[in-house]
């Protein structure tokens, strides 16, 4: 085998493993083995650029920058769908169909996944380009970003046509969305509003390596072109799946409108069990010849109809709009509502997100507003009942000064949020940073809570987290409602925090975008605070899971004179700002390439300690079970659904004792 043949064989092998895992959900090799093959291919390609291939598996890691996205006309227009909201609408639609085509009509029923529409073009089995829906006639070329999504095949297999388009939806699974928001919460950032907007926004990120770090998936549902070799919609789904596309397996082929109703009724209940957000069912005439006969209106195909599930909604009066200041200075407007029952809970407040959202919906105090549970979890205002708007109503004027310190707000270009720039003098920012520093996953200081932090700042005893280490009993005991024992516990807790591991200290510093997981990655790579402080942005970007934005934020923090002074003081107080010799000894590669899910209650070590042991020994911790999972460590009261899923996927279930014995050996 010559060099070119070896490179091509590696590419084909990696394409197959990607497909097995990301499309078929059936991993055939370990992560460690896959990474080894990918590294070998990268080295060969770098040494021999004459064999470059834009659809090589190495392109999935991202790294390409797109400053301006090229506008491309769709060869075949991307139509919208007509919506229906009742069974009567569907019956009326069926009546219209029967008037327009002869013979019996069968239907495919497909779940309507809530994401960002995409059109992929393939020629000779290779991905040529990926274009957003845009206005339906033309969209943006986002090929570089789409190549990073593992479920998008770069090359096809089987009897695919020479040239065709395939339409689909870029979605963000709920587990991935929740994990991203958990990381943003740790970093003190504004939470993403919903999976759909986050998926859509991901497609236009300039740095494709950031897209690669997001757990996006591409679900395909429609072939477009000529000479496709299929006669029905359902057959096209099966064909696309055989060529390598991730086609949802929840579609149904039915022969009557009554069967359509059964499909809709079933998924209106069971959609909550799906890993993705879905807001309805798309019903299509199955026969492609009949589709052609039915044709299109000016906006939508006559042969398809979207039945939209009804979101649970209630109306309430918006009594007041208030504004919160986060520890990063971000301003969040909040709607204070008359209490209303919604999806089993009493809702009194809902985020209004930012000034743009208020302006878009023209939300005003005194309005009767419609409230929904976004994703059945987060309350959101979706509209205003203008018929009930008071005659005295005035448009909302977004604040121009911080509600706490009255500093003029700023809004950076391309950011939706307003910020208070008074980093060192704004009370909620100061308190928020210290509260983050002492939190359980950070310095975990016993005897010191959020209210006490606010009291200490208000009394002028502290102004930043380094000041904590200068507190004495004489400072604390005179405080209101502070008993001597409580003061002693606080001082002891602060002293004990000097033994907290470096990775948690780095997280505690509150560097923007540096959450718990990112802090671990940085510390594992650099070992000391001095090494991090002197690392260039380019160096930081080479660390696993560290993108441009995180690297920039770390550099900005350590370039700041006030931050440098805080670090100097923490060093002098004896806070751990480097990995200890014991930690170095404890870190092994024993679990390299293995993924663990931890579930249940444990007795010898805490759940947090168990996860740390896994990571210290080179393993990875996941929150959900999949075919990729190596082991589930099951404690008492492990959920039966998780156990059933592990057993169904053939994932090994082990217990706490067995795992600890393995580590000890």
**370: enclosing H helix or E strand:** strand 368-374
Alpha carbon 471 to chain centroid distance?
A: 40
Please name the residue ranges forming H helices in 27-120.
Answer: 31-47, 87-100
Percent of the chain as helix, strand, coil, to the nearest 5: 40, 20, 40
Tokens read off for 283: 């019903």
Sign of CA dihedral 347, 349, 351, 352: positive
- The first and second tokens of residue 187, run together, are 């970093």
Rounded Cα–Cα distance for residues 5 and 117 (Å) = 37
**Alpha-helical regions (H) of 545-639:** 548-559, 561-573, 581-586, 607-616
178 contacts: CB under 8 Å, gap ≥ 6:
none
State the burial class of residue 6 (Cβ atoms within 10 Å of its Cβ: 0-12, 13-18, 19+).
Answer: middle
In 3D space, the residue among 22, 10, 2, 24 whose CA is nearest the CA of residue 56 turns out to be 10
Cross-strand partners of 163:
123
CB 511 within 8 A of CB 557: yes
Q: What angle do CA 519, 524, 526 make, to 5 degrees?
A: 90
Compute the half-sphere exposure of residue 604: CA atoms within 13 Å on the CB side of its CA.
10
Q: HSE of 435 in the Cβ direction (CA atoms, 13 Å)?
A: 19
Which residues participate in catalysis according to the annotation? 112
Classify 131 as helix, strand or coil. strand
Rounded Cα gap, residues 370 and 366, in angstroms: 13
Find out whether 567 and 533 touch, Cβ atoms under 8 Å. Answer: yes
User: What are the CA-CA distances from residue 601 to residues 175, 329, 441, 513, 639 (Å)?
Assistant: 21, 38, 18, 30, 11
Angle between helices 548-559 and 561-573 (to 10 degrees): 80
Q: What is the spatial distance between Cα 132 and Cα 51, in angstroms, rounded to a whole number?
A: 30
Bridging pattern class, strands 595-599 and 631-634:
parallel
Q: Return d(Cα 268, Cα 279) in angstroms, integer.
A: 9
Under 8 Å CB-to-CB from 596, ≥6 apart: which residues? 614, 619, 620, 621, 622, 629, 630, 631, 632, 633
- The candidate with the shortest Cα–Cα distance to 631, out of 661, 591, 604, is 591
Phi and psi of 331, rounded to 5°? -100, 130
Residue 610 near residue 535, CB atoms below 8 Å:
no
Helix (H, G, I), strand (E, B) or coil at 472: coil
**Do 379 and 371 form a contact (C-beta atoms < 8 A)?**
yes
């Amino acid at each position: 085998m010559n060099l070119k043949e070896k490179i091509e064989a590696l590419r084909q092998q990696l394409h197959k493993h990607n497909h097995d895992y990301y499309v078929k959900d059936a991993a055939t090799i370990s992560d460690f083995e896959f990474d080894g093959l990918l590294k070998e291919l990268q080295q060969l390609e770098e040494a021999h650029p004459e064999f470059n291939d834009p659809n090589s598996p190495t392109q999935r890691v991202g790294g390409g920058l797109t400053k301006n996205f090229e506008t491309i006309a769709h060869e075949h227009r991307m139509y919208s769908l007509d919506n229906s909201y009742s069974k009567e609408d569907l019956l009326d639609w069926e009546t219209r169909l029967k008037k327009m085509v002869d013979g019996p009509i069968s239907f495919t029923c497909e779940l309507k996944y809530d994401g960002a529409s995409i059109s992929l073009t393939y020629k000779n089995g290779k991905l040529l380009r990926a274009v957003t829906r845009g206005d339906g006639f033309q969209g943006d070329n986002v090929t570089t970003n789409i190549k990073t999504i593992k479920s998008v095949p770069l090359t096809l297999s089987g009897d695919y046509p020479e040239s065709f388009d395939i339409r689909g939806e870029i979605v963000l699974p709920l587990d991935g969305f929740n994990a991203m928001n958990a990381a943003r919460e740790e970093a003190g950032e504004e939470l993403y509003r919903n999976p759909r907007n986050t998926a859509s926004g991901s497609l236009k990120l300039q740095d494709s390596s950031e897209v690669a770090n997001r757990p996006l998936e591409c679900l395909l549902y429609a072939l477009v072109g000529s000479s496709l070799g299929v006669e029905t919609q359902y057959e096209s789904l099966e064909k696309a799946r055989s060529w390598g596309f991730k086609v949802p397996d929840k579609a149904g082929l039915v022969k009557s409108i009554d069967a359509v109703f059964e499909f809709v009724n079933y998924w209106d209940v069971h959609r909550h069990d799906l890993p993705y957000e879905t807001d309805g069912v798309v019903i299509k005439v199955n026969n492609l010849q009949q589709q052609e006969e039915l044709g299109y209106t000016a906006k939508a195909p006559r042969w398809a109809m979207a039945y939209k599930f009804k979101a649970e909604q209630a109306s309430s009066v918006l009594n007041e709009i208030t504004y919160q200041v986060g520890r990063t200075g971000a301003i969040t407007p909040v709607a204070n509502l008359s209490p209303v029952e919604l999806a089993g809970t009493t809702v009194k407040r809902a985020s209004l997100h930012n000034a743009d959202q208020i302006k878009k919906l023209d939300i005003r105090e005194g309005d009767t507003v419609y409230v929904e549970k976004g994703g059945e979890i987060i309350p959101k205002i979706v509209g205003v009942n203008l018929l009930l708007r008071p005659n005295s109503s005035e448009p909302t004027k977004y604040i121009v000064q911080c509600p706490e310190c009255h500093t003029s707000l700023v809004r950076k270009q391309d950011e939706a949020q307003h910020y208070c720039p008074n980093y060192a003098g704004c009370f909620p920012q100061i308190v928020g940073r210290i509260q983050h520093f002492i939190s359980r996953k950070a310095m975990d200081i016993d005897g010191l809570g959020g209210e006490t932090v606010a009291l200490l700042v208000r009394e002028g005893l502290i102004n930043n987290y380094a000041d904590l280490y200068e507190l004495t009993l004489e400072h604390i005991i005179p405080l209101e409602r502070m008993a001597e024992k409580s003061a002693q516990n606080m001082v002891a807790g602060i002293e004990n925090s000097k033994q907290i591991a470096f990775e948690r200290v780095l997280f505690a510093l509150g560097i923007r975008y540096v959450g718990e997981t990112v802090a671990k990655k940085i510390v594992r790579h650099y070992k000391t605070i001095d090494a991090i402080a002197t690392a260039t942005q380019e160096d930081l970007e080479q660390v696993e899971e560290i993108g441009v934005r995180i690297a920039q934020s770390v550099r900005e923090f350590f370039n700041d004179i006030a931050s440098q002074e805080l670090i100097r003081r923490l060093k002098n107080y004896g806070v751990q700002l480097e990995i200890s010799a014991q930690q170095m000894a404890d870190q092994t590669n024993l679990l390299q390439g293995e993924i663990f899910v931890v579930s249940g209650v444990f007795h010898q070590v805490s759940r947090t300690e168990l996860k740390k042991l896994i990571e210290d020994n080179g393993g990875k911790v996941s929150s959900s079970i999949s075919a990729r999972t190596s082991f589930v460590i099951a404690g008492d009261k492990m959920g039966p659904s998780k156990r059933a899923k592990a057993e169904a996927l053939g994932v090994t279930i082990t217990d706490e004792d067995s795992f600890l014995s393995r580590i000890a050996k």
